Amino acid sequence: MKRLLTLAASAIALSAVPASAQDFVIANATLALGDGSEPIEDGVVIVEDGRVTYAGPTVQGMTFETDQVLDAGDAWVTPGLFATVTTLGLWDVGAVSQSNDQRAGGSPFSAALNTAPIVNPNSQHILVHRAAGITRAATTTLPSGSIFAGQGAMIDLDGDANPIMRERAFQMVSLDERGARLSGGSRAAAHVLFRAALREAQALVGASGTPQTAEITIDDEVMLGRFDAEALVPVVTGSQPLYVAVERASDIRAVLALKEDFPRLDMVLVGAGEGWLVADDIAAAGVPVIADALDDLPESFEVLAATQSNIGRMMRAGVTVAISASSGTNPRNMPQAAGNLVALGKIPGAAGLSWGQAFAAISSVPAAISGYEGEAGVLTAGAIGDVVMWDGDPLEVGSVPTRVFIGGVEQSLDSHQSRLRERYRDLDESDLPKAYDW
């Protein structure tokens, strides 16, 4: 039975962790849609069967086909954040090799490495980042034994036994300083290796665009075996995006020029620390960018022109830009990075972002780059029901989520970190172990 919304009485709490998607309404919210627009006061979000059916301003006389109506009390409500590119679910303790699957430097394989089977949905990193409002992510191993990192996966952070939304979602290659080092000490070697690898993959492609059964000639191989060459077939045919780690302006131009020889490449630039210097070229090529937002000093020779205005200047040139989840070294810092770009817009001569643009750069834009345009990172009819409630402006340092829904299911915000906080926050000194007495 439909129920007329009465804000004064709509304080019905949603159940803690239901087994299936809920039908619910969040009303009286400061609502950010995630589409680049500015926040809406007195907003409403309606989720049914795990999907958003309405998100926007309250309309007088609205009725809802659910009794679960939550009064947000003017709290901020946003779509879930989309983190890209990350290593979420691939490691627990970085210094303990047995728990760290980020790199495979000793493996005979490179491009063929598949991230999907090794993602651990119970990783504390997934739990901690879910509590930070991140609901979906792109995760991948890192280049270590070759310029190719392998095939990344798209994951959700809902804690289910199978977090994989899409495996083999993209291939990652390093054509920056790291790629030069891995391929023999020079960018020249990295580009020769890359082109040779793509030609080996093309040799496996027939008229149908599928791998052939005949063996390629061993003499034509450089550093790739059969499995690695086959893994690059979707890249040369354009059915699998190629994420290219590159920073220097001249390197970006060289990467964009690769499309002359390999026109089907569906490329995404990752890093692009000097992207603002060649923003017009990037925009003309129609290549999106996943860029760091906090770089403002040259930490290496390939980013001598680093500036926090990088993203703003690229956007002004017409480049589609998402904020990298590695901004500030941790995906949880994405809102802080986005907030910095909002503040930057108030500095004379700097190129910052509006609030709506900055939030979209950590929600709908990375989702669209990842193949989920209109599906994730945004609150609109038909989108996945990923909704986050915050205790303050999500782009302000110190604001944290109070409730997180993924696919319409409310998630636990508990983790080792939260339990340690609760354990020791109010601990009396008399409760300390005796070893601390001295």
Q: Which two tokens stand for residue 113?
A: 């490495």
Residue 423 above 60 pLDDT?
yes
DSSP for 219-247, please give it: GG-SS--HHHHHHTHHHHTTSS-EEEEE-
Beta strand 63-64 with 148-156 is: unpaired
169: Cβ–Cβ under 8 A, 6 or more apart, which residues?
138, 151, 152, 153, 154, 240, 241, 370, 371
Q: Which amino acid is at 399?
A: S
d(CA 262, CA 237): 9
Higher per-residue confidence, 217 vs 298 = 298
Q: Report the pLDDT averaged over residues 374-389.
A: 98
Q: Report the pLDDT averaged over residues 229-237.
A: 95
SS3 (DSSP) at 53: strand
Q: What does pTM read for this prediction?
A: 0.90
Q: Report the pLDDT averaged over residues 196-212.
A: 74
Return the minimum-mean-pLDDT range out of 9-13, 134-138, 165-169, 425-429: 9-13
Q: Report the pLDDT averaged over residues 14-34.
A: 77
d(CA 310, CA 293): 8
Q: Which amino acid is at 110?
A: S
Q: In the chain, which residues fall in CATH 3.20.20.140?
A: 81-375
Q: Report the pLDDT averaged over residues 106-128.
A: 93
Q: Report the pLDDT averaged over residues 398-417.
A: 95
Question: Quick one: pLDDT band at residue 66, thresholds 50, 70, 90?
Answer: confident
Higher per-residue confidence, 265 vs 94 = 265
Residue 164 above 50 pLDDT?
yes
H or E stretch covering 271: strand 267-271
**Given this model, what pLDDT does residue 207 score?**
44
Kindly report the CATH number that applies to the domain delimited by 1-80+377-438.
2.30.40.10
Residue 157 above 60 pLDDT?
yes
Please answer whether residues 272 and 251 qualify as being in contact, where contact means their C-beta atoms are separated by less than 8 angstroms: no
Please answer whether residues 293 and 341 qualify as being in contact, where contact means their C-beta atoms are separated by less than 8 angstroms: yes
Percent of the chain beyond pLDDT 90? Answer: 73
Residue 17 above 70 pLDDT?
no
Q: Does 387 sit behind a cis peptide bond, omega within 30 degrees of 0 on the bond before it?
A: no
**Given this model, what pLDDT does residue 344 score?**
96
Q: In the chain, which residues fall in CATH 2.30.40.10?
A: 1-80+377-438
Return the minimum-mean-pLDDT range out of 21-25, 64-68, 133-137, 392-396: 64-68
**Given this model, what pLDDT does residue 249 score?**
98
**Given this model, what pLDDT does residue 424 score?**
79
**Given this model, what pLDDT does residue 209 score?**
52
Residue 432 above 80 pLDDT?
no
Question: Quick one: pLDDT band at residue 61, thresholds 50, 70, 90?
Answer: confident
Q: Report the pLDDT averaged over residues 238-258.
A: 97
Please answer whether residues 124 and 92 qualify as being in contact, where contact means their C-beta atoms are separated by less than 8 angstroms: yes
Higher per-residue confidence, 240 vs 13 = 240
**Given this model, what pLDDT does residue 434 score?**
65
Please answer whether residues 23 and 68 qualify as being in contact, where contact means their C-beta atoms are separated by less than 8 angstroms: yes
Return the minimum-mean-pLDDT range out of 92-101, 292-301, 356-365: 92-101
d(CA 147, CA 33): 38
**Given this model, what pLDDT does residue 210 score?**
52
Please answer whether residues 265 and 235 qualify as being in contact, where contact means their C-beta atoms are separated by less than 8 angstroms: yes
Return the minimum-mean-pLDDT range out of 58-72, 157-171, 180-194, 393-407: 58-72
Residue 390 above 50 pLDDT?
yes
Please answer whether residues 243 and 322 qualify as being in contact, where contact means their C-beta atoms are separated by less than 8 angstroms: no
Q: Report the pLDDT averaged over residues 207-217.
A: 48
Higher per-residue confidence, 62 vs 163 = 163
**Given this model, what pLDDT does residue 219 score?**
47
431: Cβ–Cβ under 8 A, 6 or more apart, which residues?
none
Q: What is the mean pLDDT of the chain?
A: 89
CATH class of residue range 81-375: alpha beta
* pLDDT per position as a tens digit, 312-367: 999 999 999 999 997 656 899 999 999 999 999 999 999 999 999 999 999 999 99
Question: Quick one: pLDDT band at residue 386, thresholds 50, 70, 90?
Answer: very high
Sign of the alpha-carbon torsion through 350, 356, 362, 367 = negative
Residue 414 above 80 pLDDT?
yes
Q: Report the pLDDT averaged over residues 84-99.
A: 88
